[in-house]
Structures are given as structure tokens and as C-alpha cells.
Structure 1
Amino acid sequence: MGEIHDKESEAILNSLKDDFLVTDMNGVITRVTSSMKRAYDAEGETLVGRSVYELEEEGFFTPIVTPLVKTKQERVTVTQTTRTGKNFLVTGVPVYNDNGDLWRVATYSHDITELVKMRKHLEEIEGEMERVQNELAHMRHQYLEEHGFIAHSEEIKKCLETASRVAPTDVNVLLLGESGVGKTEVAKMIHKESSRADGPFIEVNCGAIPETLFEAELFGYEGGAFTGSAQKGKVGLAELAEGGTLFLDEVGELSLNHQVKVLKFIQEKQFYKVGGRKPIHVDFRLLSATNQPLEKRVSENQFREDLFYRLNVVPVRIPPLRERTADLIPLIEHFIKMFNEKYNRTCSLNDQVLQWLVRQPWPGNARELMNLLERLIVTAPSKAITTSDLPKEAAKYPNSPDPTKSLQEQLESFEAAILREAKQTVKTTTAMSDMLGISQPSVVRKLKKYNID
């Protein structure tokens, strides 16, 4: 009868899906399922009668669970590694006799080799993701350090992506946008990402140079070319751009007379100094910028059509700050940090000031925002900047924020108000786009968004 009982127990054990093993208190194996042998690659070996301590010393598997169960007198689970590199989740269960004494340790195991591999692979992926995220954060920080851009909004991202795509070429780029949007910074970015990055970046502000001196400043002059000129003459800005980038800022301010000379210079890549007779050849890449509607000026005969097309090979429009609402908070934080460091301050904005700032239209764009924040940092009587610290001229902007609404709700409310006012002033979406400085499709999309008929 005992033999029949043993066979029945053995059959039951072998029918279990789990790999099963039983040891006595000395760690000697008394029962083991055939599936356990297969799992541990020991089908041709006799495990019954062998000690788990010896098997561990031989590297069969480690760690063993029997001594842990004996010590703790409770269920114990460990992760076990076999000699073939497999991984098992092994649980040891104490078995007591009729006297309540620990009699056997029954262990069952699950093969988790694939799970361990998957976990390791997942950890590698997570590590790679962390590395990429850190690299991206570093690149964003480096991008900000090198180019001075906060680019969270899709509008500015598209602009910068276009600028980056054309940067490696020598194509002429015309940067369009209102004053203060960062046209000069984009021009510098294009230069730094171009093959001419090691060459000079020469900026010519066409609106700041007096008309009578423009040609002498751009092309230079020979000694004694005119009354008051230096005896040794002067090298012009154009000649200084050799091997680099020439940036004509505010190009829309050029007089018709100077437009002719600039066009000839761009076409031929050569010029004559004032009072000179020898042509000077210059190798440069041309970038230009304007806040004026050049096409309109062309139609009004205020700007040469041939020069416009020469400049406008690749137009890049830089959106105004009011179209970049996602960049407002990051810009504010950036400027606060920058001016705190510059002036050795530790100022911060309270919520009311912050909400007031994000409600403003900022017609002067990032430059206006930067100037105001610098003023607040310098003049604030305490570390906490409140609405009482805002300048008096702030009254021209909308009143204090509504604390019952979220920041996004207030931004949308303000944008909707601007659109309604614009629609009352002009009737067509095209006229509205000209008035607001955004594209006509953007006007249509925003009118639909706010249900403005």
C-alpha cells in the first residue's frame, strides 16, 4: 500500500505545471518532479538523495532556499540562477509534521529567464531614453546659450526648422517680422550653422546709417575721397564680410538710390570704394531682414522689384510674441534668471504679476518683454515683485487678471477680444491678417475656434 501511495504522490507531483522539489532538514532532496529536471537541464541526472548544499557548491543553482526557510520558519521567495544561465523565481514553503516541527521544505519554481531578459532590455531602453532626454535637454540648453531662443511653440519651431534647413547652403534669406521678434538672432543662428561659421558675421543696419554716409560705410573709401575722410582711407563693411556672412538689417529702409548700388553689389559680388577705381571682389553669404511689407512697397514704387526678388529667395517669417503664447512663461523665466544673475538679485514675480504679463499683447515683442523685466528686476524694492511695482504706463494694457480663471482661459479670452475688435474695425479676414500681423488661414482658424461670426 505504501508503494502505491508513493507512486500516486509521484504522479500528482509530476502532473503539476510548476517545477517542484522537496528537501529534508539537512537539505537532501527527497522528491523532485521530472519537469524540474528538464528545467534545470538535469534529465539524465539523479537528484533525489543529493544535497542542495553540494549542488550549490558545484554551481548547479544559487542561491538555495532551504536554509532561508529553516531560519525564518516561513515562506521565502528568491531569484535563482542556474549553471546554464537560466533564471527561476523559487519559493520555499515550510512543511510541519504532526508534532509541529519543521519536517520538510517544499520548493516550487517558475522559469523567468525571458522575463529577466525583458527586464534587462527594458532597463537598457530606459537608460537609453534617459540618455537621449539628457542629451536633448543639453542640446536645448546649448541652443538657448548659443542662439538665445526659447522655442516651445510650434510657430517658432517651424520658423527655426526652416532656418536650420537653409543654413548649410549659400542661398539668400529674407527674415520677415515685427521689431523685437529676434530677426538678428535668427540671422546669427543661420550663420553659425552654415559652412561659413568660422568666417565673420557683419551686420549692416540700413536704417541706422545716415543716407549720406551709407555708401562709405558699406563700401569704404580711399584716402582723401571726400572732405573729412581719413587720409589712409577706410575698409567698408562689405569687404569685412569676406568668407563670411553679410547681414543687411532693416533693408526696407534703403533709399532708391542705394537700392540700385546694393543690387549691383549683390549680383556681381564686387564693388568700388568711394573715390576708388579698382574693383574689390568679396565672397560672402547674404542675409537680410525687414519689418516692412516689401511687396507693398514694391507696388508703391518705394522698393525695387528686382532687388526684392534677389533678397527674397527664401523668406522666413518670425512670428510675433502674441502668436507664441506657449513661449511666454519660458521667456519670462529665462529673462528673470538672466537679470537676477546679471544684477546679483534674487527677485521673483508673484502670481498676479505673472498672469498680468501673459495677458499683454506685447507689440514690441520679446524685446519689450525683456526690457520691462530688466526694469522690474533693477527697480523692485524687495525680492517679491508685485503689481504695485509695474510701471505707470502699464495702464495702457488690460486690467488685472481674473483669479477665478486658468492662465490658458485668460489667454484665450484676451485673444478672442482682440479678434472681435479687429473684425469690427475691418470686415475681411485678409484685412484682419494684415492688421494683426498673422496669416489669413490663422485668422480663419481662430475665428472658428472662438465662434466669431
Structure 2
Amino acid sequence: MTERELLDVLDTPIYFIDAKHVVVWMNRAAQNAVPGIVKGMPWTDVQPRLPRTHIFRFHEVQVGGEPGVMVEGTPSVDPALLSELERLRQANEDLETILDTLFDEVFVTDGEGVVLRVNTAAEQLYGLQNSDIVGRTVFDLEREQVFYPSVAAMVLQRRRRVTALQETKNGHRLVVTGSPVFDREGRIVRIVCYTRDLTSSRSWPSVAVQGVGQGVEIPRDSGLVAENPAMKSVMDLIRRVAPTDATILLLGETGVGKNRLARFIHDLSSRRANPFVEINCANVPESLFESELFGYESGAFTGARKEGKVGKVELAHGGTLFLNEVGELPLHVQGKILDLLQERTVSRVGGVHTRKVDIRIVAATNKDLRQLVKEGRFRDDLYFRLNVVPLTIPPLRERGEDICTLAETLVHHFCDKYQLPRKAIHPDVMACFLHYAWPGNVRELENVIERLCIIVEDDILLPEHLPEELWSSGGTERGEKDGYLGTKGTPDNGGPPPKTVFGSSLPGKAAFQSHSSPDILSQGWGIRQVLEEVERELYARALQQYGSTYAIAKHLRVSQPTVVRKLRQFGLSGGRALDSQ
């Protein structure tokens, strides 16, 4: 009697599974236990149907000369054990469901690099079935160029968290972060990788907006991204008024992109083939304003050109005149601007003749013109003439839907501009962008992205690359992000401990009572400094008491990356070497 014939007469269900987790043989008891199971079925389809009256044990064996598993079922009559097995089965099923609903890929290996679990997102990224990945080593998958490089292999080598760009065989470009999980002896037992697909960021089509007679294409790196509802409303109104000659007043904070919108309006109008002339009312000296705007005749004043000069208004004939920072117009010029708006005529300084001009006027300001009118610094009749179609551009901090797209397109733009290798933005950096208040709006975002593209040599922009104001809580107005915001270097913590508000225990009611309000006030501190000292003391005592950043995070109910950042911010070393960060 052969080995399989012997197994076939046993009452114990037995299954043989190969390295691809496929059933290759089963005895009669197994067939009777779960009718309908046939050779070639994935074990993931068989396992949920196994009888709950049995306990199934897994044994490593050779199947067809290759590593495999024999599954042996023995009857169980212990209700408590059956209940526990059912709970574990349901927990595993719930975990699988959660992982499969994630948009990003999750990839888990053991301490040897053998793939234990991937979610369904992996099938699209790698072009393989789940069963073609699970059970194989990352070294084999890397060698076969399924993906390259293997971030899990890098984690095994460096024994710390690693983030890197990864290319797949079927053309996907990924940013992958792998994190090691250690046992109590410091051995790596699991590596958990999560992946963000950047493939959609490789091409950057223009945004087609229908204008007069033909579609006008506006490049995405112009900053005119409108996924935010308020910005969509602005762009929709621009689309409707741009073909007319109506005067438009652009309102909004500094840096929101009023210049770009003015140019956008011009490009959508029937005047697009004619000049777009801008004059920044804040940059022209008051004594020269009239000559710059309206021009002058020969000999109009001492130092004037012999042949005279054409002003900005005449240069804009047939096109658009953009009055930027119109709130800075000198009062004595405002009357002449009013005449220009009403009559569409201009007289040069020192001249006696008027010239007819065909212009469309777009004005912009970050000032409250109505308040300037009340203060007598801006003519009310000019305000009403300019305020035909007012457009208020929302600040960037209110355009959360636009920030990520803007950031990605700006990275593309500046890498191309300076002929640099294409860079990717780590999701944690995007989170920082979304939590920052952006007082300088789109202009500030542009400056940050340009600086990062130039000075960062890595192919991924990470949180530690960001300027301090973006990752420190003091630099935001929208609250602290509960997550990894940077890995700034910290000073050596030798020498005396930092000065604190509280005593030797974690701050609580007794700690607050140990220092009276006059003691704190005598320091001359404001509320921000007091709260910062409270937080510093809290983290110092938590570090002393718990030692591990993970334990501190659990007890303070914050994320472990937040603990790492706070310890660095307050110059507190330890935390078991920041638990590999």
C-alpha cells in the first residue's frame, strides 16, 4: 500500500497544498468533509468552508519535490476551543476585508522576506494574482523584475524604516514605505510595506477651457487648478465674462494667483492676440505714475526723452490693461483712471490732444476697497466703475482639494525647468501641506516646491526635507497634525535638564498645585510658552517612565511618529533610540 493509499483510508481529513497555496491532493475524508472541493482550487477558497467541528494543523512537507503544506484535521469536542477558533477565523476574515478595501497596496513579509499577505491592490500594480505572490520571497520577485528595488529587502538590510521609489514590470511607478516589526529579542519578524501609485502623475495634460471660438489650453503648472468648489465657481464665472469687455475686479490675499487669473482672462477673450500690459500700482513712484501710465510728450518735464514716451495705456491698445494693486493708486491719479474707464481716451503728460484707446481693464487688489472708500483714500465713483464683475479668489488654506494637485504639478514643472530627475512627494509631506495655513498662498507653495526640487538630492521629498515652519506646530494655524512631520536633528542631551514648569511627576492636579499662578507669571511667560513647557515636561516624564516611543504614544493617545517628533523638538534623547524612528 502506497503512502497516499494509506492516507486515503484514514478518517482524518488531509489536504496537500503546494507553494502557490493551491490544493494538489486530498483524501476521501477531506472530500466528504467539504463536498465540492476539487484539485487545483486555491486554499483561500477552501479554508472558509472547513468544518468547524475539526481543528486543522499545518505541517511543512515536500509536495512534488518543492516546499508545501499538509493540512490535517482532527475532531474537536471542546466548545470553548471551537468558539475561540471561530473568533480567530472571523478576525482574520475581517482583516482580509479591511486590507482589500484599501486603495493603496499593503504588502507583508516575514523576517526572511517571504511574502505572507498582500491585498487586492497588488494584483493591479504587479499584474499578478495573489497566489502568484504569497509564499515567494521578495528576492525572487525582485530578481524577476516584478518590482525593483525591493523595499522589504532594504528594510532587512538596514533594520529600519525605508522609503524608496519602485518600478514594476508592468510600468507602474510607486513610492513604497517599509517598516520593520521587531520581537522582544530585537529580531525582525514582520515587514509591513504600504504603497502609493504615482503612475498617474507621470503625464500632465493641460486643462482645456472653452473660450471664444476655440478651446484655450491652460498648462496645469500655471497654478490654475480648480478642484475646490469655491475655485470652480470663480473659474466658471471667468469663463462666462472673459469673452465680454466688462471690467473685472480680482480680490484676494497676496499670492493667491491674481496675476495668473488676469492673464487667463485675457487668453480667453477675443483680445488674446493683442497686448496684455500690466502696471503694478504699488511699484511706481507717485511722481512718475502719470507719465508711466499715460506717457508724455517731448519736453514735458526736465529729463524727459526728446521723442516723448508712449504710456502703458496706449501700449495696451486692442488688448488688456491689468491694473495690479489698484488699491495703491495715488488719489490725484484716480480721477484720470475714472475718465479712462468712462471715455476710453487718454492724454499724455504735457500734451493737448486726446487719443482714443480700445482696451479692456482688469484690476486686482488685496486691499478692502470699501474700507479705503470710507477712509477717504479711494474714490467711491472709481470703486463703483471697477466693481462691475468682482471675483474673490479663495486663499490656498481653504482649497484643500487643490493643494495636492498643485504640489505635484509644481514638482513636475520645476524638475523640467532645471532639468532635474523627476521627484515624488511622500504622502506624509502631502499631509503637512494640507495642515499648513499657507499665509503666502500659491506663491509660498511655489517657493517651497522650487527650493525642495533644487536642494533635495533624493528622488522622494520626505518630511525631514521640509522647512521648519511646515512641520512644527508653531508654524501652523490649523492645528497640529497627528503624524510624522519630520526628523530634525536634536542636540546632545548632556548637561542639566531643561527648565520646566512642573515638578518630578507627570503633570496632573497635584503637579499644577505645586506651582502657583504667581510663580508662573513671574517668569514673564505668555500662555503659549506656558503650554509649551507643560508639553515638554509631559514628554520628559513619559520618556522617563515608559522608555519606548510606542509605549508613550499608547499612554498619551497620539501616534508614535508624533512622539518621535516631539522628543526631537524638545531635545529629549532616548526612547530606545527613538524605536528605529
**TM-score (ref. length: structure 1):** 0.57
Deviations 1:143-184 (A, max 9, x none): 335964111111111001111111111111111111111111
Rounded Cα–Cα distance in structure 2 between residues aligned with 1:323 and 1:242: 37
Question: How far apart, CA to CA, are the structure 1 residues paired with 2:461 and 2:360?
Answer: 45
For residues 193 and 146 of structure 1, the distance between their equivalents in structure 2, rounded to whole angstroms, comes to 18
Aligned match of 1:355? 431
Deviation at 1:368, TM superposition (A): 0.5
Structure 1 position 381, deviation (Å): 3.5
Residues 39-84 of structure 1, C-alpha deviation per residue, up to 9 Å, x if partnerless? xxxxxxxxxxxxxxxxxxxxxxxxxxxxxxxxxxxxxxxxxxxxxx
Partner of 2:208: 139
Alignment of 1:175-194 (within 5 A): 175-194=250-269
Equivalent in the alignment of 1:324: 399
Alignment match, 1:364: 440
Question: C-alpha distance in 2, partners of 1:147/1:189?
Answer: 10
Instruction: Say if 1:158 and 1:298 are closer, same or farther in 2 by CA, change over 3 A.
Output: same
C-alpha spacing 1:289/1:361, structure 2 compared with 1 (3 Å): same
| Deviation digits for residues 301-320 of structure 1 (CA, Å, limit 9, x no counterpart) | 11100000000011111111
Separation in structure 1 between the aligned mates of residue 475 and residue 429 of structure 2, nearest angstrom: 13
AA matched with 1:319? P
Counterparts of residues 124-273 of structure 1 (less than 5 Å) = 139=208, 142-144=217-219, 148-273=223-348
> How big is the alpha-carbon RMSD for the aligned residues of Structure 1 and Structure 2?
2.5
Q: CA deviation at 1:142?
A: 3.0
Contact 1:352 1:401 in 2 (8 A): no
Q: Take 2:398 and 2:220, find their aligned partners in 1: how far apart are those partners?
A: 23
State the shift of 1:263 in Å: 1.1
Shift of 1:137: 7.5
Q: What number of residue pairs does the alignment pair up?
A: 272
Structure 2 counterpart of 1:397, from 475, 481, 493? 475
- Contact 2:280–2:324 (CA<8 Å) still a contact in 1? yes
SS of corresponding position for 2:363: strand
Aligned partner of 1:93 in structure 2 is none
Residue by residue, what CA displacement relative to the aligned partner does 1:364-412 show, whole Å, maximum 9, x if unpaired? Answer: 11111011110111111422322322224444424873249xxxxxxxx
Partner of 2:464: 388
Determine helix, strand or coil for the equivalent of 2:217.
helix
Match of 2:192 in 1: none
Computing the radius of gyration over CA atoms, which structure comes out larger, 1 or 2?
A: 1
**Structure 1 counterpart of 2:450:** 374
Structure 1 unaligned residues grouped into runs of 5+: 1-135, 405-453
Q: Shift in Å at residue 347 of structure 1?
A: 2.5
Q: Counterpart amino acid of 1:150?
A: V
What's the secondary structure of 1:203's corresponding residue?
A: strand
Q: Distance in 2 between matches of 1:385 and 1:324?
A: 22
- CA shift at 1:266, angstroms? 1.7
> Aligned partners of 1:321 and 1:228: how far apart in 2?
45
Structure 1 residues 93-141: Cα deviation after superposition (integer angstroms, max 9, x where no partner): xxxxxxxxxxxxxxxxxxxxxxxxxxxxxxxxxxxxxxxxxxx986279
Contact 2:414–2:453 (CA<8 Å) still a contact in 1?
yes
Does the Cα contact within 8 Å between 1:207 and 1:254 map onto a contact in 2? yes
Report which of the two has the higher share of helix.
Answer: 1
SS state of the match for residue 213, structure 1?
helix
Q: Give the 3-state SS of the residue equivalent to 1:178 in structure 2.
A: coil
Partner Cα distance (2:299, 2:347) in 1: 15
Q: For residues 191 and 381 of structure 1, what CA distance do their matches in structure 2 show?
A: 39
Preserved CA contact (<8 Å) 1:177 1:317: yes
Secondary structure of 1:330's counterpart equals: helix
Structure 2 Cα separation of the partners of residues 160 and 350 of structure 1: 30
**What residue identity is the alignment partner of 2:451?**
R
- Contact 2:221 2:413 (C-alpha < 8 Å) held by counterparts: no
% same residue = 45
What secondary structure is seen at the aligned counterpart in 2 of 1:370?
helix
2:374 aligned with 1:299: yes
Gaps of 5+ in 2: 1-204, 210-215, 485-581
Contact 1:353 1:386 in 2 (8 A): yes
Partner SS, residue 340 of structure 1: helix
Q: 1:161, 1:373 → 2: CA distance?
A: 28
3-state DSSP of counterpart to 1:315: strand
Where does residue 5 of structure 1 map in the other structure? none
Shift of 1:341: 1.0
Instruction: State the Cα distance separating 1:277 from its structure 2 match.
Output: 1.3
| Rounded Cα–Cα distance in structure 1 between residues aligned with 2:465 and 2:480 | 13
Local SS of the residue matching 2:273: coil
Q: Secondary structure at the match of 2:219?
A: helix
CA contact (8 A) 2:220 2:409 kept: no
Q: Once the 2 structures are TM-superposed, how far is the Cα of residue 351 of structure 1 from its aligned partner?
A: 2.7
Which is worse superposed, 295-304 or 376-385? Answer: 376-385
1:220-270 deviation per Cα after TM superposition (whole angstroms, max 9, x unaligned): 111222122211111100001111111111100111111112112221211
Residue type of the alignment partner of 2:434:
V
Query: Which residue of 406, 410, 414 corresponds with 1:339?
Result: 414
- Is residue 2:354 matched to residue 1:279? yes
SS at match of 1:212: helix
Structure 2: which amino acid aligns with 1:402? Answer: D
Instruction: Tell me the alpha carbon deviations over residues 14-49 of structure 1, each in whole angstroms, 9 at most, x when there is no partner.
Output: xxxxxxxxxxxxxxxxxxxxxxxxxxxxxxxxxxxx
Quick check: 1:176–1:318 contact (8 Å CA) kept in 2? yes
Question: What is the TM-score when the length of structure 2 is the normalising length?
Answer: 0.44
Q: Contact 1:147–1:186 (CA<8 Å) still a contact in 2?
A: no
> Relative to structure 1, is the Cα distance of residues 379 and 138 closer, same or farther in structure 2, using a 3 angstrom cutoff?
closer
> Deviation string for 1:320-356 (max 9, x for gaps)?
1111110011001111111111122232232322211
